[in-house]
Amino acid sequence: MRNAYLTYAARRIAQAVAVVLLAYVFTFVVVSILPGDPVSTILHDPQNGFTDEEIREIIAAQGLDQPIAVQLWTALSHFVTGNLGLSMRSGRPVATLLAEVLPSTLILASAGFAVALLLAAVIAYGTQFLPARFGQGLLRGFPSLFLSVPNFVIGLVLIHAFGFQLGLFRVIEPNSFWATLFAALALGIPISAQIAEVLIANLDHEARQEYAAVARSRGLGQVGLFVKHLLKPSSLPVVTVIALTIGELLGGSLITETVFGRTGVGSLVQRSVTTQDLPVLQTVVSLAAVVFVGVNLLADLVYPLLDPRVTLVGSGRSRQAGAEDPATQTTEAVTA
């Protein structure tokens, strides 16, 4: 059993590394076949005043006259060794640019994630204990409501109501506690809906199972049944769902940053897209792939430890569905 798990873990980790590298290659290739060449645009800019001779020299020095396969190999080996290159616009290291904006985005994303988990738990567990006459049906309706409203709309409503009307936070100080909290709410609400829906469906499913009836026949009350029997089996599939929502968290935080006027990875991406700053874009996309694949890897590694029924059959297949095809999900997350 222990041996089977190690084999399984090794396979999963190798797959994850492969997916990240593929994502890097994919972005690189897509960017190089896109029309428009930002390098020559900058170099030919009359303001810079390079002669044709100088331009040729610079291109040769940067290795940009090499075949694309060689360029890819150089870039990939730099990426793997942690050398992220220089920004084309500012000439500063991409690593430095990223370090400036990453903390703000991380705070927002983790706060949003916490909000999502908390809300999902409150809604899902509420449906189990709130009697029908006290609005259980209303509570069950929340997830579909949350899902159908885009998070920038939620953000705008929150800014209007709590920023302008109630004056809880000042819109020009986007990094204050209250502003961050509401940004996290705007980010977390749609994500909480997905988790809550899965949790509610699982709880209802488990409560209908024969073992729940048998447990009740042993004298367990509603709370005992919930805590001892329903909580764990209904939460297990949520591990996979949470891993999948991380992509949404990444995409959502970029939008939320724009709506709340926060400086973060979102604004960095926005700037680099408009100026075609390829090294920065390449890094951000690859970073998103690393985060997404990493979280899914974690979910895959943890799941067999939580669910005793999962058997790791020889080659490392787990019984769990979902998170099976990280490659497609990564590209989805990046384009979101």
Closest CA to 101 of 334, 275, 262, 274: 262
Over the window 265 to 304, marking each residue x when it contacts another protein by CB under 8 A and - when it does not, the resulting string is ----------------------------------------
- Residue whose CB is less far from another protein, 133 or 309: 309
Provide the minimum distance between the beta carbon of 226 and another protein in the complex, in angstroms, as a whole number: 12
Are 262 and 102 within 8 A, CB to CB? no
- Name residue 225's amino acid: L
Token pair recorded at residue 212: 């729940």
Closest CA to 92 of 283, 276, 280, 274: 280
Q: Which of residues 175-234 bind another protein (CB under 8 A)?
A: 208-211, 213-221, 224, 228-229, 232-233
- Residue whose CB is less far from another protein, 230 or 241: 230
Q: Does 317 bind another protein (CB under 8 A)?
A: no
Q: Which of residues 297-316 bind another protein (CB under 8 A)?
A: 307-309
Q: Which of residues 234-263 bind another protein (CB under 8 A)?
A: 236
Provide the minimum distance between the beta carbon of 219 and another protein in the complex, in angstroms, as a whole number: 4
Provide the minimum distance between the beta carbon of 121 and another protein in the complex, in angstroms, as a whole number: 19
Token pair recorded at residue 3: 């041996």
Closest CA to 212 of 197, 232, 237, 240: 232
Provide the minimum distance between the beta carbon of 26 and another protein in the complex, in angstroms, as a whole number: 37
Provide the minimum distance between the beta carbon of 312 and another protein in the complex, in angstroms, as a whole number: 12
The DSSP-derived string for 136-174 is HHHHHHHHHHHHHS-HHHHHHHHIIIIIIIS-SS-TT-T
Helix (H, G, I), strand (E, B) or coil at 86: strand
- Calpha distance 68→84 (Å, rounded): 18
- Residue whose CB is less far from another protein, 236 or 298: 236
Are 253 and 266 within 8 A, CB to CB? yes
- Residue whose CB is less far from another protein, 177 or 309: 309
Provide the minimum distance between the beta carbon of 235 and another protein in the complex, in angstroms, as a whole number: 10
Q: Which residues bind another protein (CB under 8 A)?
A: 208-211, 213-221, 224, 228-229, 232-233, 236, 307-309
